[in-house]
Amino acid sequence: MRKKVLLMGKSGSGKTSMRAIIFANYIPRDTRRLGATIEVNQTYFKFLGNLVLNLWDCGGQDHFMENYFTLQRENIFKNVEVMVYVFDVESLEIDKDIIYYQRCLESLAQHSPNAKIFVLIHKMDLIHDKYRDDTFNKRKEEISAFSKFLDVKCFKTSIWDETLYRAWSCIVQELVLNSSLLENSLNDFADVSEADEILLFEKTTLLIVSQSLRKENTDLKRFERISNIIKQFKINCNRFDTTFQSIEIKNGNLTVIIDVFTSNTYIMVIVTNPNITPALTIHNIKYAQKHFEHLETSQPQT
Amino acid sequence: MLRPSALRQLLSQGTAGTIQATILTTRSGEYLDYVLRNDLQNQSVSSSSLNQSQKNQINVKSLCAIICSVYQSYQKLSHAFADILNYVIIDCDMYRLAIRPVGNHLICICADSNTGLGILKLKINSLADSLSSILNFAIYS
């Protein structure tokens, strides 16, 4: 099952860096050596069993952009499942950015009317902390004004913190085939094992694919933070020629177990009940593995 | 799968009379869950007297490690004689222990030294039977 994801935006907005960090295990510092993308860079990424993400990283130079809207219009904008448009928050040519964005929307409406659209206001780390929310809201309003009648989701992102993971987790969750079935199964699993939260991560990107929450938690940014932390840990393990397998943390307040789950996912189980031993939770995880592996491999082919 | 609250309820059913503790553990000595008779008795007691009972409590972690090691030793011995070990009953100074495998786990009942061996055997077998359908399913599926 192939799904086409368009990554568009002006030149230098951060598309290729984003792609490198999420899908190619780059650390933010390493993205400095990435050069300008020439034309379209197509990559295939196997995601969760039989889902293949066909990522089209489109170079943002003016010359290429003109080409996309004219000669290559049908080729680029046909059969698109998701379009991710990246705005550089520090761009001095906001009007020009908006014009390109509108042209993308028009082309998309013509060739892939059912495509989902995500807008990332990128490089937010360059804005001072106290102005960040205001700047983001202002931009979001501007963009919403130009995307009337379309369901566009906006995120503020930066490669230097966990916000990038939040945006891409949402993007990827739109593409997962049987997400509701997966979530229901996770809810059942959380119920029986009496866990407070269960998160399912994709193995390579560490993006959150599904979750089950039984208890309220006030920290809304915890998901992407966890993705970021574990990914960094995994990259560091690889550097020392070892592979990350599992983490088990138990203290007075909670037990956290992160372990390999199916062939494409990691699971994170959080239990706050002090009477439930890690061994019991691990037993339950091993038991549930078979069911979820079966869910993954038996996805409907459409 | 084992629902923690249900498992605890099952184990506490056996922990009555002269039975001091019922423990479900892995073959490698890590306990999945346990119920101590002191815990059941002291559920509604104030914190000061709780400290006293804590001192008299069985150290479950050490006990698990020891019983698993002991069981494995006897199992190796039984293999040497081409025999299958079903359960082990150990008569010690302070306690009597019964250990029985269920699937990939072990159940242990720890009772006072004046407990009848017959009741011990009955309890461990009935507990194993209750858990076997759940735990054995995990191996074969």
Please check the confidence at residue A256 and state whether its pLDDT lies above 70: yes
Decide which of A133, A151, A174 is a domain's last residue. Answer: A174
Contact B32, B14 (CB under 8 A): no
Helices (H) and strands (E) in chain B, counts: 5, 5
Euclidean distance between CA atoms A234 and B83, whole angstroms: 47
Q: Same structural domain for residues A99 and A222?
A: no
Q: What is the pTM of this model?
A: 0.82
ipTM of the complex: 0.82
Q: Same structural domain for residues A169 and A211?
A: no
Provide the pLDDT for residue B141. Answer: 41
Tokens of A131: 């102005």
Contact A43, A124 (CB under 8 A): no
Q: Same structural domain for residues A103 and A150?
A: yes
For residue B114, give the amino acid letter: N
Decide which of A174, A201, A231 is a domain's last residue. Answer: A174
Map tokens 């566009």 to a residue.
A152
Kindly determine whether residue A277 and residue B26, on different chains, have CB atoms separated by under 8 Å. Answer: no
What is the average pLDDT score of chain A? Answer: 87
Q: Same structural domain for residues A134 and A216?
A: no
Residue B6 in contact with partner chain A when CB distance is under 8 A: no
Residues of B in contact with A186 (CB under 8 A): none
Q: Average pLDDT in the A212-226 region?
A: 84
Residues of B in contact with A276 (CB under 8 A): 4, 33
For residue B138, give the amino acid letter: A
Tokens of B50: 């709780």
Residues of A in contact with B26 (CB under 8 A): 279, 283
Residue A287 in contact with partner chain B when CB distance is under 8 A: yes
* DSSP letter (8 states) at residue A37: P
Please check the confidence at residue A20 and state whether its pLDDT lies above 60: yes
Count: domains in chain A: 2
Please provide residue A266's backbone torsions phi and psi, each rounded to the nearest 5 degrees.
-110, 150
Decide which of A174, A192, A210 is a domain's last residue. Answer: A174
Q: Same structural domain for residues A142 and A238?
A: no
Q: pLDDT tens digits for A124-144? A: 888 888 888 888 888 888 888
Q: Same structural domain for residues A184 and A169?
A: no
How many interchain CB pairs under 8 A, A with B?
A: 41
Provide the pLDDT for residue B45. Answer: 47
Q: Same structural domain for residues A164 and A267?
A: no
What is the average pLDDT score of chain B? Answer: 83
Q: Same structural domain for residues A20 and A142?
A: yes
Q: CATH number of the domain that A74 lies in?
A: 3.40.50.300
Domain range spanning residue A123? 2-174
Band of residue A46 on the pLDDT scale cut at 50, 70, 90: confident
Q: CATH number of the domain that A190 lies in?
A: 3.30.450.190
Is beta strand A255-260 parallel, antiparallel or unpaired with respect to A265-271? antiparallel
Q: Same structural domain for residues A7 and A150?
A: yes
Tokens of B72: 């494995």
Please give, rounded to a whole number of angstroms, the shortest distance from the CA of B30 to a CA of chain A. Answer: 7
Provide the pLDDT for residue B56. Answer: 56
pLDDT tens, residue order, chain B (141 aa):
888 998 998 888 888 888 889 999 998 888 888 888 877 766 544 444 445 445 556 788 899 999 999 999 998 888 888 788 888 999 999 899 999 999 889 999 999 999 999 999 999 999 999 888 877 765 444
Q: Same structural domain for residues A146 and A289?
A: no
Q: Same structural domain for residues A84 and A169?
A: yes
Q: Same structural domain for residues A235 and A105?
A: no
Q: pLDDT tens digits for B22-58? A: 999 998 888 888 888 877 766 544 444 445 445 556 7
Q: Average pLDDT in the A239-253 region?
A: 89
Domains of chain B, with CATH numbers?
Answer: 4-140 (3.30.450.30)
Interface list for B 30-89 with A (CB within 8 A): 30-33
